[in-house]
A = this chain, B = another copy of it.
Amino acid sequence: MKKFTSVSDVENLQEIIKKALQIKENPLSETEKGKGKTIGLVFLNSSLRTRLSSQIAAQNLGLNILTLNAAQEAWSLEFADGAAMNGDTVEHIKDAIEVLNQYCDIIAVRCFAGMKSKEDDVNESILSQFEQHAKVPVISLESATRHPLQSLADCITITENWHFDDSSSSPQAKLSVKSKPKVVLTWAPHIKPIAHAVGNSFAEWMQEMDVELVIANPEGYDLDKNFTKDVKVIHDQEEALKDADFIYVKNWSSFDDYAAMPEVKENWMLTNKKLANTNQGKVMHCLPVRRNVELSDEVMDSKNSIIYQQAKNRIFSAQAVFSEILDELNSK
């Protein structure tokens, strides 16, 4: 693997899921692989799971870790090409990246959508600079439009919770009546305009999985078609949830009317009552979650929730990716 910023960087999704599950069985099986190499973890935004799981994954592989909270610890960054830097910004992102090239064997970066300019966010104004200027492999720790380490953890978690038929190529051999789980990505309420990265990314990765994906969101909240493509989008949550095996809860703001929050009259918070309509659906969320806004306490704390399992799988998602990147580096 040469870099990891979207599902298209993964050669074989089933293989990397399998690898991650092997790592989960034995996290310390490759403690020498990263020896003498350094990963830079650059945070332009807050992070709990990504920060900690990336560190654990790197430690398990014997990597040296440089963590940089860029905003607080270093210098305020300029992102505009050609800018005369006579304002508040002190260092151009290009120069920061070139320095990271000198210091790191792998650069991992978190750079959220700014939620101000649709064009900047859609074009990945920050991540694209890393992709352009980095001379070492770049890993996204969530960017403006995608959160691929989360999505890989989601794939791992769904795999653990569903009996996928290995012989899916020969349909006559299938034992289960229902061979594919129904996976519903359902919009949830929030109080602030939230980015589309997790929604986009989940949609994109699920299209590579052997699942039936449905997206449920209110009118005005359809995600970018470049990510959802032909996936069925339903504006009625109850209808969408029917017989769902997995329910992925996530808020996002409007994409068309970028970062706006058009009024929603129905209550989209996930509750146990709504779950009753599903096929004992497992509930997923990337965290952090606003309890009793996005979903109710009763759902969060129920047996249906596999949310903490998802969080744990962030370690193995990261470790599988770092490991494949190291394979590439070590093969040179």
The binding surface of chain A is classed by DSSP as: mixed
Report if A276 contacts B (CB, 8 A): no
Bound Cα distance from A82 to B78, whole angstroms: 42
Report if A36 contacts B (CB, 8 A): yes
Q: Report the minimal beta-carbon distance from A26 to chain B, rounded to whole angstroms.
A: 11
Q: Which of A5-13, A65-73, A115-123, A208-216 contacts B (4 or more CB under 8 A)?
A: A65-73
Q: How large is the interface on A (under 10, 10 to 19, 20 to 34, 35 or more residues)?
A: 35 or more
Report if A264 contacts B (CB, 8 A): no
Report if A101 contacts B (CB, 8 A): yes
A99 adjacent to B47 (CB under 8 Å): no
Give residues of chain A (77-97) contacting chain B, Cβ–Cβ below 8 Å.
78, 82-87, 90-92, 95-96
Q: B69, B84, B87: which contacts A73 (Cβ < 8 A)?
A: B69
Bound Cα distance from A84 to B59, whole angstroms: 37
Residue of B nearest to A28 (CB): B36
New contact pairs (15) apart from A48-B68, A102-B315, CB-CB < 8 Å: A28-B36, A40-B52, A46-B74, A48-B70, A48-B91, A49-B99, A51-B73, A69-B73, A85-B290, A86-B290, A95-B287, A96-B288, A102-B311, A103-B312, A103-B315
Residues of chain A touching chain B, judged by Cβ–Cβ distance below 8 Å, are 28, 36, 38, 40, 43, 46-49, 51-53, 55-56, 59, 64, 66, 68-70, 72-75, 78, 82-87, 90-92, 95-96, 98-103, 191, 287-293, 297, 300, 307-308, 311-312, 315
